[in-house]
Amino acid sequence: MKARIPGAQNGGNMMKKIQEMQENMELRQAEIEQSEFSASAGGGAVEVTVAGTHEVKTIKISPEVVDPDDVEMLEDLICAAVNESIKKATDAMDNAMEQAKAGLGALGGGLGGLF
């Protein structure tokens, strides 16, 4: 007895859709990696920009927050801005991948929720 796979009669169409999805995901990933994401902390006292690859590109610090007696606050602001800018880059990549995978729903559920 052969197992019946939903959508098997459209196997060629399914493979084409999967290939299109993969190409779309690669394009979106490249776009995100070329993008930059910025976040600030302390009301703009510290601003950090990261690439979509999570590489820190720039850190800008307002001179008025540089207090030699309170270096810890500056360190905290830098950490907060770095973490938020990385989160923005990660969220953008996640959203792009979800959009790229959205076309698989049109295959009639033949992949059983694999994506």
Given a cut of 60, whether residue 2 has pLDDT beyond it is no
Q: Specify the pLDDT at position 6.
A: 57
Q: Specify the pLDDT at position 107.
A: 53
Domain ranges of the chain: 31-103
8-12, 22-26, 55-59, range with the lowest pLDDT: 8-12
Q: Specify the pLDDT at position 7.
A: 52
Q: Specify the pLDDT at position 9.
A: 58
Q: Which CATH architecture has domain 31-103?
A: 2-Layer Sandwich (3.30)
Provide the token pair at 22. 């993969």
Query: Running DSSP on this structure, what letter comes out for residue 4?
Result: P
Q: Specify the pLDDT at position 15.
A: 85
Check: CB of residue 37 under 8 Å from CB of residue 89.
yes
For 55-113, the pLDDT digits (tens) are 999 999 999 989 999 999 999 999 999 999 999 999 999 998 888 877 666 554 445 55
Q: Specify the pLDDT at position 3.
A: 58
Given a cut of 90, whether residue 10 has pLDDT beyond it is no
Report which of 71, 93, 82, 8 is spatially closest to residue 48, judged by C-alpha positions.
82
